[in-house]
Protein backbone atom coordinates (compact mmCIF):
# COMPACT_ATOMS: atom_id res chain seq x y z
CA UNK A 1 0.00 0.00 0.00
CA UNK A 2 1.61 3.17 -1.16
CA UNK A 3 1.27 6.10 1.21
CA UNK A 4 1.36 9.82 0.54
CA UNK A 5 -0.20 9.46 -2.90
CA UNK A 6 -1.59 12.75 -4.12
CA UNK A 7 -2.60 13.56 -7.70
CA UNK A 8 -2.04 17.02 -9.13
CA UNK A 9 -3.31 18.44 -12.40
CA UNK A 10 -2.80 21.70 -14.22
CA UNK A 11 -5.39 22.61 -16.86
CA UNK A 12 -6.13 26.12 -18.15
CA UNK A 13 -9.42 27.49 -16.76
CA UNK A 14 -10.65 28.48 -20.19
CA UNK A 15 -9.82 28.13 -23.87
CA UNK A 16 -11.28 29.08 -27.26
CA UNK A 17 -13.34 26.32 -28.89
CA UNK A 18 -11.06 24.19 -31.02
CA UNK A 19 -7.93 25.30 -29.15
CA UNK A 20 -5.17 22.84 -28.37
CA UNK A 21 -4.19 23.15 -24.72
CA UNK A 22 -1.32 21.70 -22.72
CA UNK A 23 -2.19 19.59 -19.71
CA UNK A 24 0.30 18.72 -16.99
CA UNK A 25 -0.25 15.98 -14.44
CA UNK A 26 1.82 14.62 -11.61
CA UNK A 27 1.08 12.04 -8.98
CA UNK A 28 3.31 11.62 -5.96
CA UNK A 29 3.98 7.91 -5.74
CA UNK A 30 7.07 5.86 -4.79
CA UNK A 31 6.77 3.57 -7.87
CA UNK A 32 8.48 0.66 -6.11
CA UNK A 33 9.79 -1.46 -8.97
CA UNK A 34 9.74 -4.91 -7.36
CA UNK A 35 13.40 -5.32 -8.29
CA UNK A 36 14.89 -4.03 -5.06
CA UNK A 37 15.73 -5.87 -1.86
CA UNK A 38 15.43 -4.60 1.69
CA UNK A 39 18.15 -4.79 4.35
CA UNK A 40 17.42 -8.47 5.05
CA UNK A 41 17.62 -9.48 1.39
CA UNK A 42 13.88 -9.90 0.88
CA UNK A 43 12.38 -8.52 -2.29
CA UNK A 44 10.31 -5.38 -1.74
CA UNK A 45 7.02 -6.12 -3.55
CA UNK A 46 6.18 -4.13 -6.64
CA UNK A 47 3.85 -1.21 -6.06
CA UNK A 48 3.39 1.14 -8.99
CA UNK A 49 0.78 3.14 -10.82
CA UNK A 50 0.13 0.83 -13.77
CA UNK A 51 -2.33 2.86 -15.83
CA UNK A 52 -3.20 6.49 -16.34
CA UNK A 53 -6.12 7.82 -18.36
CA UNK A 54 -7.56 11.17 -19.24
CA UNK A 55 -11.10 11.64 -20.53
CA UNK A 56 -12.88 14.73 -21.79
CA UNK A 57 -16.65 14.60 -21.41
CA UNK A 58 -16.44 10.82 -21.46
CA UNK A 59 -14.21 10.63 -24.53
CA UNK A 60 -10.76 9.14 -24.08
CA UNK A 61 -7.92 11.61 -24.60
CA UNK A 62 -5.01 9.47 -23.51
CA UNK A 63 -4.57 6.00 -22.04
CA UNK A 64 -1.11 5.09 -20.75
CA UNK A 65 0.29 1.80 -19.53
CA UNK A 66 3.06 2.35 -17.02
CA UNK A 67 5.80 -0.17 -16.37
CA UNK A 68 8.11 -0.77 -13.45
CA UNK A 69 11.02 1.21 -14.89
CA UNK A 70 9.15 4.51 -14.63
CA UNK A 71 10.55 6.59 -11.81
CA UNK A 72 9.04 8.07 -8.70
CA UNK A 73 6.28 10.71 -8.99
CA UNK A 74 5.27 10.05 -12.62
CA UNK A 75 4.69 13.26 -14.56
CA UNK A 76 2.79 13.52 -17.84
CA UNK A 77 2.48 16.50 -20.10
CA UNK A 78 0.28 16.20 -23.18
CA UNK A 79 -1.97 18.21 -25.44
CA UNK A 80 -5.67 18.01 -26.02
CA UNK A 81 -8.09 19.75 -28.36
CA UNK A 82 -11.01 21.40 -26.60
CA UNK A 83 -14.13 21.37 -28.84
CA UNK A 84 -16.54 22.54 -26.13
CA UNK A 85 -16.81 23.39 -22.44
CA UNK A 86 -16.64 20.41 -20.15
CA UNK A 87 -14.68 18.33 -17.68
CA UNK A 88 -11.34 16.65 -17.93
CA UNK A 89 -11.32 13.54 -15.81
CA UNK A 90 -7.98 12.02 -14.82
CA UNK A 91 -7.64 8.54 -13.37
CA UNK A 92 -4.62 6.73 -11.98
CA UNK A 93 -4.75 2.98 -11.26
CA UNK A 94 -2.51 1.61 -8.49
CA UNK A 95 -1.18 -1.95 -8.25
CA UNK A 96 -2.84 -2.23 -4.85
CA UNK A 97 -6.26 -1.67 -6.41
CA UNK A 98 -6.56 1.97 -5.37
CA UNK A 99 -7.91 4.36 -7.99
CA UNK A 100 -7.11 8.03 -7.73
CA UNK A 101 -9.31 10.52 -9.56
CA UNK A 102 -9.21 14.21 -10.28
CA UNK A 103 -11.55 16.37 -12.36
CA UNK A 104 -10.93 19.79 -13.85
CA UNK A 105 -13.54 21.90 -15.59
CA UNK A 106 -12.67 24.06 -18.57
CA UNK A 107 -14.81 26.89 -19.91
CA UNK A 108 -15.01 28.27 -23.43
CA UNK A 109 -14.27 31.94 -23.62
CA UNK B 1 16.76 26.91 -25.92
CA UNK B 2 16.03 28.61 -22.67
CA UNK B 3 14.27 31.33 -24.58
CA UNK B 4 11.42 29.04 -25.37
CA UNK B 5 10.08 29.63 -21.90
CA UNK B 6 9.68 33.38 -22.04
CA UNK B 7 7.73 34.77 -24.93
CA UNK B 8 9.24 38.22 -24.76
CA UNK B 9 12.75 36.83 -24.88
CA UNK B 10 11.80 34.67 -27.85
CA UNK B 11 10.43 37.68 -29.67
CA UNK B 12 13.59 39.70 -29.09
CA UNK B 13 15.59 36.76 -30.32
CA UNK B 14 13.65 36.57 -33.57
CA UNK B 15 13.82 40.30 -34.04
CA UNK B 16 17.58 40.43 -33.94
CA UNK B 17 17.82 37.24 -35.96
CA UNK B 18 19.87 35.13 -33.60
CA UNK B 19 19.28 31.57 -34.68
CA UNK B 20 21.22 29.50 -32.19
CA UNK B 21 20.96 30.21 -28.47
CA UNK B 22 22.54 26.80 -27.77
CA UNK B 23 24.95 27.87 -25.03
CA UNK B 24 22.46 30.16 -23.33
CA UNK B 25 22.75 28.20 -20.07
CA UNK B 26 24.97 30.46 -18.08
CA UNK B 27 23.30 33.67 -19.21
CA UNK B 28 19.71 32.68 -18.47
CA UNK B 29 17.79 34.38 -15.69
CA UNK B 30 15.63 32.52 -13.24
CA UNK B 31 12.08 33.69 -12.61
CA UNK B 32 9.88 31.27 -10.71
CA UNK B 33 6.16 31.10 -11.55
CA UNK B 34 6.62 34.25 -13.66
CA UNK B 35 6.78 36.29 -10.46
CA UNK B 36 9.63 35.51 -8.09
CA UNK B 37 12.83 36.98 -9.48
CA UNK B 38 15.88 35.09 -8.34
CA UNK B 39 19.37 36.56 -8.23
CA UNK B 40 21.59 33.79 -9.57
CA UNK B 41 24.63 35.93 -10.27
CA UNK B 42 26.01 38.79 -8.22
CA UNK B 43 29.15 40.38 -6.82
CA UNK B 44 30.98 38.22 -4.31
CA UNK B 45 30.79 39.20 -0.63
CA UNK B 46 33.77 41.14 0.75
CA UNK B 47 35.29 38.19 2.58
CA UNK B 48 35.90 36.46 -0.76
CA UNK B 49 38.29 39.20 -1.94
CA UNK B 50 41.12 37.61 -3.83
CA UNK B 51 39.19 34.35 -4.22
CA UNK B 52 36.09 35.08 -6.31
CA UNK B 53 34.81 38.21 -8.02
CA UNK B 54 31.39 36.92 -8.86
CA UNK B 55 29.15 34.34 -7.23
CA UNK B 56 26.87 32.10 -9.27
CA UNK B 57 24.02 29.89 -8.22
CA UNK B 58 24.28 26.21 -9.12
CA UNK B 59 21.16 26.73 -11.25
CA UNK B 60 23.28 28.42 -13.92
CA UNK B 61 25.37 25.30 -14.36
CA UNK B 62 22.50 22.95 -15.06
CA UNK B 63 21.06 21.90 -18.41
CA UNK B 64 18.12 23.69 -20.03
CA UNK B 65 15.66 20.98 -19.04
CA UNK B 66 16.74 20.95 -15.42
CA UNK B 67 16.65 24.74 -15.29
CA UNK B 68 13.13 24.78 -16.70
CA UNK B 69 11.86 22.38 -14.04
CA UNK B 70 12.58 24.98 -11.41
CA UNK B 71 10.76 27.79 -13.20
CA UNK B 72 7.32 26.53 -12.31
CA UNK B 73 6.22 25.06 -9.01
CA UNK B 74 4.10 22.46 -10.77
CA UNK B 75 7.11 21.17 -12.69
CA UNK B 76 9.41 21.30 -9.66
CA UNK B 77 9.29 17.91 -7.92
CA UNK B 78 10.96 19.44 -4.85
CA UNK B 79 7.70 21.27 -4.19
CA UNK B 80 6.15 17.91 -3.28
CA UNK B 81 8.48 17.94 -0.28
CA UNK B 82 7.68 21.55 0.49
CA UNK B 83 3.95 20.77 0.43
CA UNK B 84 4.49 17.83 2.76
CA UNK B 85 6.45 20.21 5.00
CA UNK B 86 3.59 22.71 4.99
CA UNK B 87 1.26 19.96 6.16
CA UNK B 88 3.71 18.96 8.90
CA UNK B 89 3.85 22.59 9.99
CA UNK B 90 0.12 22.42 10.77
CA UNK B 91 0.31 18.98 12.41
CA UNK B 92 0.50 18.54 16.19
CA UNK B 93 3.49 16.44 17.26
CA UNK B 94 4.53 15.08 20.61
CA UNK B 95 3.09 15.08 24.10
CA UNK B 96 2.23 18.80 24.26
CA UNK B 97 -0.26 18.46 21.41
CA UNK B 98 1.19 21.50 19.70
CA UNK B 99 1.99 22.12 16.07
CA UNK B 100 4.57 24.53 14.69
CA UNK B 101 1.68 26.75 13.60
CA UNK B 102 0.41 27.10 17.18
CA UNK B 103 3.38 29.33 18.02
CA UNK B 104 4.55 30.56 14.63
CA UNK B 105 1.09 31.23 13.09
CA UNK B 106 2.11 30.82 9.48
CA UNK B 107 5.13 29.90 7.42
CA UNK B 108 5.38 33.34 5.83
CA UNK B 109 6.19 34.80 9.25
CA UNK B 110 9.32 32.61 9.17
CA UNK B 111 10.56 33.75 5.77
CA UNK B 112 13.60 35.38 7.41
CA UNK B 113 14.78 32.03 8.77
CA UNK B 114 16.21 30.28 5.71
CA UNK B 115 18.35 33.26 4.55
CA UNK B 116 19.99 33.81 7.96
CA UNK B 117 20.80 30.26 9.06
CA UNK B 118 23.19 28.79 10.24
CA UNK B 119 23.05 31.35 13.01
CA UNK B 120 24.54 31.93 16.46
CA UNK B 121 22.14 31.02 19.25
CA UNK B 122 22.92 33.09 22.33
CA UNK B 123 21.07 30.89 24.83
CA UNK B 124 22.73 27.70 23.66
CA UNK B 125 26.11 29.30 23.01
CA UNK B 126 26.51 27.60 19.65
CA UNK B 127 25.97 28.08 15.94
CA UNK B 128 22.78 26.32 14.95
CA UNK B 129 21.53 25.09 11.60
CA UNK B 130 17.81 25.17 10.82
CA UNK B 131 17.56 21.47 11.59
CA UNK B 132 19.10 21.96 15.06
CA UNK B 133 16.68 24.80 15.75
CA UNK B 134 13.69 22.73 14.58
CA UNK B 135 14.81 19.89 16.84
CA UNK B 136 15.07 22.31 19.74
CA UNK B 137 11.42 23.22 19.21
CA UNK B 138 10.43 19.58 18.83
CA UNK B 139 12.06 18.40 22.04
CA UNK B 140 11.90 21.58 24.12
CA UNK B 141 8.45 22.93 23.35
CA UNK B 142 6.43 20.22 21.67
CA UNK B 143 7.45 17.22 23.76
CA UNK B 144 8.34 15.25 20.65
CA UNK B 145 11.29 13.02 19.85
CA UNK B 146 14.17 14.69 18.06
CA UNK B 147 14.25 14.00 14.33
CA UNK B 148 17.40 12.47 12.87
CA UNK B 149 19.61 14.77 10.82
CA UNK B 150 18.38 14.95 7.22
CA UNK B 151 15.32 12.78 7.98
CA UNK B 152 12.46 13.05 5.50
CA UNK B 153 10.42 15.16 7.91
CA UNK B 154 13.35 17.50 8.47
CA UNK B 155 14.03 17.97 4.79
CA UNK B 156 10.34 18.54 4.08
CA UNK B 157 10.18 21.20 6.79
CA UNK B 158 13.36 22.78 5.46
CA UNK B 159 11.89 22.79 1.98
CA UNK B 160 8.72 24.49 3.24
CA UNK B 161 10.73 27.13 5.12
CA UNK B 162 12.91 27.64 2.09
CA UNK B 163 9.99 27.94 -0.34
CA UNK B 164 8.57 30.96 1.52
CA UNK B 165 11.99 32.64 1.49
CA UNK B 166 12.57 32.40 -2.26
CA UNK B 167 13.85 35.64 -3.71
CA UNK B 168 15.26 36.90 -0.40
CA UNK B 169 19.04 37.32 -0.31
CA UNK B 170 21.23 34.92 1.65
CA UNK B 171 22.52 36.90 4.60
CA UNK B 172 24.31 34.83 7.22
CA UNK B 173 26.27 36.62 9.92
CA UNK B 174 29.96 35.76 10.03
CA UNK B 175 31.13 38.25 12.63
CA UNK B 176 30.59 38.44 16.39
CA UNK B 177 30.17 35.16 18.23
CA UNK B 178 29.79 33.18 14.97
CA UNK B 179 33.26 34.19 13.81
CA UNK B 180 35.07 31.32 15.51
CA UNK B 181 32.83 28.69 13.88
CA UNK B 182 33.09 30.51 10.56
CA UNK B 183 36.91 30.42 10.70
CA UNK B 184 36.78 26.70 11.41
CA UNK B 185 34.50 26.20 8.40
CA UNK B 186 36.84 28.22 6.24
CA UNK B 187 39.78 26.10 7.31
CA UNK B 188 37.89 22.93 6.35
CA UNK B 189 36.94 24.47 2.99
CA UNK B 190 40.59 25.01 2.08
CA UNK B 191 41.93 21.74 3.56
CA UNK B 192 42.69 18.90 1.20
CA UNK B 193 40.98 15.66 2.16
CA UNK B 194 41.17 12.05 1.06
CA UNK B 195 43.39 9.97 -1.15
CA UNK B 196 42.73 12.37 -4.02
CA UNK B 197 43.89 15.25 -1.83
CA UNK B 198 41.14 17.61 -2.89
CA UNK B 199 39.79 20.57 -0.98
CA UNK B 200 36.37 22.10 -1.62
CA UNK B 201 38.21 25.04 -3.21
CA UNK B 202 40.10 22.87 -5.71
CA UNK B 203 36.87 22.11 -7.54
CA UNK B 204 34.40 24.80 -6.59
CA UNK B 205 36.65 27.86 -6.51
CA UNK B 206 39.47 27.05 -8.93
CA UNK B 207 37.57 24.95 -11.46
CA UNK B 208 33.93 25.91 -11.49
CA UNK B 209 32.58 25.99 -15.03
CA UNK B 210 34.87 23.13 -16.07
CA UNK B 211 33.71 19.58 -16.56
CA UNK B 212 34.41 16.93 -13.95
CA UNK B 213 33.82 13.85 -16.08
CA UNK B 214 30.27 14.40 -17.39
CA UNK B 215 29.27 16.94 -14.76
CA UNK B 216 29.48 20.70 -14.97
CA UNK B 217 31.25 21.92 -11.83
CA UNK B 218 29.38 24.66 -9.98
CA UNK B 219 30.63 26.99 -7.30
CA UNK B 220 29.09 24.71 -4.72
CA UNK B 221 26.67 27.37 -3.53
CA UNK B 222 23.98 26.16 -1.13
CA UNK B 223 21.31 28.82 -1.72
CA UNK B 224 19.24 26.17 -3.52
CA UNK B 225 19.09 23.64 -0.71
CA UNK B 226 17.32 21.47 0.12
CA UNK B 227 17.68 20.27 -3.46
CA UNK B 228 15.72 17.65 -5.35
CA UNK B 229 18.39 15.63 -7.12
CA UNK B 230 17.34 13.83 -10.27
CA UNK B 231 19.89 11.11 -9.52
CA UNK B 232 18.08 9.94 -6.40
CA UNK B 233 14.63 11.47 -6.94
CA UNK B 234 14.35 12.97 -3.48
CA UNK B 235 15.20 16.01 -1.41
CA UNK B 236 18.82 16.22 -0.30
CA UNK B 237 20.18 18.22 2.63
CA UNK B 238 23.26 20.42 2.52
CA UNK B 239 25.31 18.30 4.86
CA UNK B 240 24.37 15.07 3.12
CA UNK B 241 25.69 16.70 -0.04
CA UNK B 242 28.92 17.68 1.75
CA UNK B 243 29.28 14.07 2.77
CA UNK B 244 28.93 12.94 -0.84
CA UNK B 245 31.61 15.38 -1.94
CA UNK B 246 34.08 14.41 0.79
CA UNK B 247 33.45 10.75 0.04
CA UNK B 248 34.31 11.39 -3.59
CA UNK B 249 37.75 12.60 -2.52
CA UNK B 250 38.13 9.07 -1.10
CA UNK B 251 38.22 10.31 2.46
CA UNK B 252 36.57 9.18 5.66
CA UNK B 253 33.70 11.65 5.83
CA UNK B 254 32.29 13.68 8.66
CA UNK B 255 28.66 12.94 9.50
CA UNK B 256 25.71 15.21 8.82
CA UNK B 257 25.13 17.07 12.10
CA UNK B 258 28.80 16.93 13.15
CA UNK B 259 30.50 20.14 14.40
CA UNK B 260 32.77 20.10 11.33
CA UNK B 261 29.85 20.11 8.87
CA UNK B 262 27.95 22.72 10.88
CA UNK B 263 30.98 25.01 10.62
CA UNK B 264 31.36 24.20 6.94
CA UNK B 265 27.67 24.90 6.29
CA UNK B 266 28.03 28.34 7.89
CA UNK B 267 31.12 29.11 5.84
CA UNK B 268 29.70 27.85 2.53
CA UNK B 269 26.42 29.68 3.16
CA UNK B 270 28.40 32.90 3.70
CA UNK B 271 30.09 32.46 0.33
CA UNK B 272 26.60 32.86 -1.15
CA UNK B 273 25.69 36.07 0.73
CA UNK B 274 23.84 38.13 -1.85
CA UNK B 275 22.41 35.32 -3.97
CA UNK B 276 18.68 34.68 -3.63
CA UNK B 277 17.34 31.73 -1.73
CA UNK B 278 15.95 29.48 -4.44
CA UNK B 279 15.38 26.24 -2.57
CA UNK B 280 13.85 23.82 -2.86
CA UNK B 281 15.69 23.56 -6.13
CA UNK B 282 16.21 20.94 -8.83
CA UNK B 283 19.70 19.68 -9.53
CA UNK B 284 21.40 16.71 -11.21
At B122-172, the pLDDT tens digits run 999 999 999 999 999 999 999 999 999 999 999 999 999 999 999 999 999
Q: Which of helix, strand or coil describes residue B243?
A: helix
Whole-angstrom distance, CA of residue A22 vs CA of residue A40: 45
Cβ contact B77–A75 (<8 Å): yes
Cα angle for residues B238, B142, B155 (degrees, 5° grid):
20
* Residue A44: C-alpha distances to residues A41, B151, B221 (Å): 9, 21, 37
- Strands A86-94, A49-56: pairing is antiparallel
Q: What is the pLDDT of residue B5?
A: 43
B74 and A72 within 8 Å at the Cβ level: the answer is no
pLDDT in tens, B61-114: 999 999 999 999 999 999 999 999 999 999 998 899 999 999 998 999 999 999
> Among A49, A55, A54, which Cα is nearest to A5's?
A49
- B75 vs A73: CB contact, 8 Å cut-off? no
For residue A109, what pLDDT band results from cuts at 50, 70 and 90? confident
**ipTM value:** 0.78
Instruction: Give catalytic residue positions of B.
Output: 245
Residues on chain A touching B234 (C-beta within 8 angstroms) = 72
Whether chain B has a CB inside 8 Å of the CB on A36: the answer is no
Q: Which of B74, B77, B234 sits opposite A24 (nearest CB)?
A: B74
Q: pTM higher than 0.80 for the full model?
A: yes
Amino acid sequence: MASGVKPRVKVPKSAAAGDVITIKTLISHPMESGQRKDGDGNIIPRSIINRFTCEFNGELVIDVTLEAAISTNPYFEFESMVPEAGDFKFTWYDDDGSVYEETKAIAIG
Amino acid sequence: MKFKYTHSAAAVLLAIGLASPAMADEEAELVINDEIEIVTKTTAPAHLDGHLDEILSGWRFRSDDTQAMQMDDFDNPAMLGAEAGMELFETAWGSEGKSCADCHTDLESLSHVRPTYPKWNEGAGEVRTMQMQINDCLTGRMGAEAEKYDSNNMLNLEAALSSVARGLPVNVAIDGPAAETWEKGKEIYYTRFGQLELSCANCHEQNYGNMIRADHLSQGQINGFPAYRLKNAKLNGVQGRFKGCVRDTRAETFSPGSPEFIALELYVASRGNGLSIEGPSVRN
